[in-house]
Structures are given as structure tokens and as C-alpha cells.
């Protein structure tokens, strides 16, 4: 199996990185690794499996992020995901929301490295796909470097070779999930030190990364960089990724061309009953910083949700860009 290139990846973001967003982002970068939103094991095993797991082949390479803490359930979902054609299965050990904690998964699992190891072991037994872990640098008072090293070492012994590390601790009480993405201070050097202490592992850094210069600096210390909110709020930021980090010719389409390339996809999806607003909401940041960007966003926001909204909402909005 060809090694998956994780030099640049786009973070799994709940309510954001759905299949429509991934199709859109793939038009901007053909190489960055894309992740699904977190999908819980319960949603797959007891819900609409196809709705949660199906994706357009044009999205590849794409990885699935699972949420859960039961090794048997995670193994079942990993085997199912393998059949859908994902390139990787990732275990969420970083989300701090109350709902996730109540389900005993996400960031609270950083207090249970053996549980995470058992999950990874079970997942790896049913697939040849890479099984990776996305975690924080700590939680609550379990935030010492020694605790992080013990967590990584324990899960590594279960066969995990790639860790995606959000360089912030998480507070499981007192902060909302949104605050947990900004309030705890970033500690990039701690992630760099992990790479020094575990040189055999692939270490991907995540958290607050917004510029190409920042990516360049991180790549002198770790193996890859995962971009979160910047890729969503300013998606055309990814236009330089392929040429700069993958050595492919810079043939990224212009922004208005991307709008044109989205139209056939949107038309197909609307014929299946998908509302226009479900897709266009991911495109609001496409013209960020350009004259007319505000008018673009406003026109879509005011019209895409209306009954009978059609593709001309997008083309009319794009005409406002000067």
C-alpha cells in the first residue's frame, strides 16, 4: 500500500467538513488529505450508515474520523469504512464537548491510554488501512509532558504509527468546545519534543495555524501540518498548497472558475433533494479579502435558503466580485 502523504491535511470539523465541503475544497487543492467530520460508532451501527459514510470519489484522498471507546464497536465501524474506500481511519481523542464526554469518548480518553490502545488494537485487526489517533497535549490537570509521553507510548505499543496532535490542552469542565479551540494556550514546542522523543512515529501538528510561513516553520520540526479553521474561513488559502508542498504544477483554478466547477455538482445534489444552502454555506469564504467579498457572502446568505432557490444565486453573487 502506498504511504499516505499527510504533509498537509484539513482537520475534521463537526458541522463543517461534510461531503459538500470536501468536494469544494478538493477543487482548490488536489493533494491535501481531507477528513470527515467525526462520526460516532452509534451513528454508523444504529443509524443511516450510507448517509454518514458515502462520499464522492472526487474527494480522495479522504480519511474517516470515528468517535467511540468500545473496541468491538470501533472494529465493526472500521471494517465497514474499509468497504467505502477511505484511505485512513482516525480515532478522536481530542473533542471536549459534554455530549462526547457523556458518551465516554473524545478528549476524556486521554485519561485512559490503555482504553485507547485497546481500541486501536481492535481496529487494526480488521483492516490494512492506517489507524491513527488525534489527541490533545493534555486534559485538565493531566497536562504534564510525562503524561503525554505515557499516552503516546502506550498507544504506540498497540500499533499506532501516526499521531495528530492539537497543541492545546483541553478543559473538560468550565470551557465550551469553541473556547477549548482558542483559550488554552498553544504549546508547539511540546509537540516538537514528542517528535524528538519518538522519531520513529509520524507526528502531525494542529492548532491555530494560519499562514504558509507558519506551515514552513512547523515542517522543520514535525512530519505534517493539519489546518483547521483557516481552511474553512479562507479556503482559497489552499490554492498554493499543491505547488509548494507536493511539487505539482500550479494549475489551481481561479476563484470564479471554482464557482463554475461547483455548479454541476450542486445541480446533481439538488436533484437528490439537497437544499442549495447546505452546499453554498461552505463557499462563503471563497473570495475573502477581495473587493466584493462581503456582497458575495450577503447575497448567498440572504437568498440560498429561500424556497425555490436555484444556481443563479451563486452566479449572481459571483458577479458582485470586482
Q: What positions carry a catalytic annotation? A: 95
Buried b (16+ CB within 10 A) or exposed e, 46-69: eeebeebbebeeebbbbbbbbbbb
User: Kind and range of the H or E element at 66?
Assistant: strand 62-67
In angstroms, the CA 295 to CA 236 distance is 17
Residue with cell 480518553: 109
Q: Find the largest Cα–Cα distance for the chain.
A: 58
Q: Give me the helix-helix angle, 145-157 and 188-197, nearest 10°.
A: 50
Q: Are residues 221 and 192 in contact, defined by beta-carbon separation less than 8 angstroms?
A: yes
Residue with cell 491510554: 113
Amino acid at each position: 500500500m502506498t504511504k499516505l502523504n499527510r504533509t498537509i491535511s484539513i482537520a475534521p470539523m463537526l458541522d463543517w467538513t461534510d461531503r459538500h465541503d470536501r468536494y469544494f475544497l478538493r477543487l482548490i487543492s488536489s493533494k491535501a488529505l481531507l477528513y470527515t467530520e467525526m462520526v460516532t460508532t452509534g451513528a454508523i451501527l444504529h443509524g443511516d450508515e450510507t448517509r454518514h459514510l458515502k462520499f464522492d470519489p472526487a474527494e480522495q484522498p479522504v480519511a474517516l474520523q470515528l468517535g467511540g471507546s468500545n473496541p468491538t464497536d470501533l472494529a465493526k465501524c472500521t471494517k465497514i469504512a474499509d468497504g467505502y474506500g477511505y484511505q485512513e481511519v482516525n480515532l478522536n481523542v481530542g473533542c471536549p464537548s459534554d455530549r462526547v464526554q457523556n458518551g465516554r469518548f473524545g478528549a476524556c480518553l486521554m485519561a485512559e491510554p490503555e482504553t485507547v490502545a485497546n481500541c486501536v488494537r481492535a481496529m487494526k485487526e480488521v483492516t490494512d488501512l492506517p489507524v491513527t489517533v488525534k489527541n490533545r497535549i493534555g486534559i485538565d490537570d493531566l497536562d504534564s509532558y510525562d503524561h503525554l509521553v505515557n499516552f503516546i507510548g502506550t498507544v504506540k505499543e498497540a500499533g499506532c504509527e501516526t499521531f495528530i496532535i492539537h497543541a492545546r490542552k483541553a478543559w473538560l469542565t468550565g470551557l465550551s468546545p469553541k473556547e477549548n479551540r482558542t483559550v488554552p494556550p498553544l504549546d508547539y514546542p511540546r509537540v516538537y519534543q514528542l517528535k524528538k522523543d519518538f522519531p520513529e512515529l509520524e507526528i502531525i501538528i494542529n492548532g491555530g495555524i494560519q499562514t504558509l510561513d507558519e506551515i514552513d516553520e512547523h515542517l522543520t520540526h514535525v512530519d505534517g501540518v493539519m489546518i483547521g479553521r483557516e481552511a474553512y474561513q479562507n479556503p482559497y488559502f489552499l490554492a498554493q498548497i499543491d505547488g509548494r508542498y507536493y511539487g505539482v504544477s500550479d494549475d489551481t483554478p481561479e476563484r470564479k472558475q471554482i464557482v463554475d466547477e461547483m455548479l454541476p455538482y450542486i445541480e446533481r445534489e439538488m436533484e437528490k433533494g439537497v437544499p442549495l444552502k447546505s452546499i453554498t454555506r461552505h463557499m462563503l469564504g471563497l473570495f475573502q479579502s477581495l473587493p466584493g467579498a462581503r456582497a458575495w457572502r450577503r447575497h448567498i446568505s440572504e437568498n440560498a435558503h429561500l424556497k425555490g432557490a436555484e444556481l443563479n444565486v451563486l452566479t449572481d453573487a459571483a458577479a458582485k466580485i470586482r
